[in-house]
């Protein structure tokens, strides 16, 4: 297996999470069960699980020049994530307000803050100068123009690009053309093409000639390769406590696995295993398996 060197161009947030068996209706006040603060942000989550899997992760992003930004920076350092291209801003750090209901389902409002101030030139510089970089990962919590520039540099340097279109936004033709692997969940898939991923024709016509994976929550994931071949993989049955960050666990694990030389199918299976374990625990990064646990998964 080759060394897995990945760059995540993306967001880092502090998650402020309220757990309550029932979610209030408009105008209603309800008592919840628990409040937590934790490390989140789709980009940071994907980088952290990549590092826990064993990848050398380089994070390219922007943190607030505040206590939240300081603690995220320290967390990256502790996990061995390279921070050379993590810049700081006087704009407050990004935060996510999250409600998790009794079924473990979440509702999230993000305030991007400093995440929307990533400098395009710094992102491109990072991609061009990170040694032995093979995979570049991005999401949609930063400005799309930054991702386009980073992916353009990535393709010029022979890297694979993975885009997780979350939260959903219209994707430019240019970004789609620069994306080797598009990994939406069911609702993002529907937003992109107006169809349900249970339909094989919808999957085949999703991105002809390109690779995609649609994550299906408790139903696993489905891979569509460049020839239009479809491979569905089930997920193990688990007791769901909190689904926050599970999609990110899948994407970061998949990126690590591709970068370390696994096949796409092997990478997808490992991603499902890691994501399935993450939903049995509370929080985003706090729910991720340890390196020792990951070593037991396939």
Stretch that binds ligand RIB, among 51-59, 222-230, 231-239, 244-252 (CB under 6 A): 244-252
Pick 42 or 262: Cβ nearer ligand RIB: 42
What residues have CB less than 8 Å from 25, skipping those under 6 apart?
A: none
Pick 15 or 180: Cβ nearer ligand RIB: 15
Residue 40 found at the interface with ligand RIB (CB under 6 A): yes
Q: Which 106-145 positions form the footprint of ligand RIB (CB under 6 A)?
A: 108, 110, 141
Pick 17 or 161: Cβ nearer ligand RIB: 17
CA 225/CA 228 separation, integer angstroms: 5
- Minimum distance from residue 107 beta carbon to ligand RIB (Å): 11
248 is catalytic: yes
Pick 7 or 96: Cβ nearer ligand RIB: 96
Stretch that binds ligand RIB, among 41-49, 142-150, 192-200, 231-239 (CB under 6 A): 41-49
Which residue of 222, 248, 267, 272 would you call a contact of ligand RIB, by CB under 6 A?
248
Yes or no: say if 178 and 153 are a contact pair by the CB < 8 Å rule: no
CA 190/CA 56 separation, integer angstroms: 33
What residues have CB less than 8 Å from 248, skipping those under 6 apart?
A: 42, 45, 46, 49, 139, 164, 284
Residue 184 found at the interface with ligand RIB (CB under 6 A): no
Task: Output DSSP code: residue 185.
Answer: B
Task: Output DSSP code: residue 115.
Answer: G
Residue 245 found at the interface with ligand RIB (CB under 6 A): yes
**Max CA separation in the chain (angstroms):** 56
Measured from each CB, the residue nearest to ligand RIB is 40
**Binding footprint of ligand RIB, residue count (CB under 6 A):** 15
- Minimum distance from residue 284 beta carbon to ligand RIB (Å): 4
What residues have CB less than 8 Å from 18, skipping those under 6 apart?
A: 32, 34, 35, 98, 99, 100
Closest CA to 295 of 122, 113, 52: 52
Q: Which long-range contacts (CB under 8 A, 24 or more apart) does 22-28 make?
A: 22/101, 22/102, 23/99, 23/101, 23/107
Q: Which 252-291 positions form the footprint of ligand RIB (CB under 6 A)?
A: 284
List contacts with ligand RIB (CB under 6 A): 13, 15, 40-42, 45, 96, 108, 110, 141, 244-245, 247-248, 284
Residues marked as catalytic:
248
């Amino acid at each position: 297996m080759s060394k897995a060197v990945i760059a995540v161009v993306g967001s880092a947030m502090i998650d402020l999470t309220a757990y309550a068996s029932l979610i209030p209706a408009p105008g209603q006040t309800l008592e919840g069960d628990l409040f937590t603060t934790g490390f989140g942000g789709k980009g940071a989550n994907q980088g952290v699980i990549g590092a826990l899997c064993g990848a050398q992760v380089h994070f390219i992003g922007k943190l607030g020049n505040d206590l939240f930004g300081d603690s995220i920076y320290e967390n990256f350092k502790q996990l061995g994530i390279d921070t050379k291209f993590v810049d700081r801003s006087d704009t407050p750090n990004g935060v996510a307000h999250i409600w998790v209901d009794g079924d473990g389902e979440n509702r999230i409002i993000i305030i991007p803050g400093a995440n929307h101030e990533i400098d395009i030139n710094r992102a491109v510089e990072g991609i061009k100068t990170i040694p032995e970089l093979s995979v570049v990962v991005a999401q949609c919590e930063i400005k799309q123009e930054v991702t386009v520039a980073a992916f353009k540099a990535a393709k010029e340097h022979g890297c694979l690009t993975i885009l997780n279109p979350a939260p959903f936004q219209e994707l430019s033709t240019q970004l789609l053309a620069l994306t080797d692997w598009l990994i939406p969940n069911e609702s993002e898939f529907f937003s992109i093409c107006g169809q349900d991923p249970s339909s094989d024709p919808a999957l085949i016509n999703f991105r002809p000639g390109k690779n995609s994976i649609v994550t299906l929550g408790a139903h696993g994931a489905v891979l569509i390769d460049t020839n239009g071949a479809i491979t569905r993989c089930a997920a193990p049955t688990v007791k769901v406590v909190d689904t926050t960050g599970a999609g990110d666990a899948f994407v970061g694990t998949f990126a690590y696995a591709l970068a370390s030389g696994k096949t796409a199918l092997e990478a997808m299976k490992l991603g499902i295993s890691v994501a399935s374990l993450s939903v049995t625990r509370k929080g985003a990064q706090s729910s991720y398996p340890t390196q020792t646990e990951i070593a037991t998964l396939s």
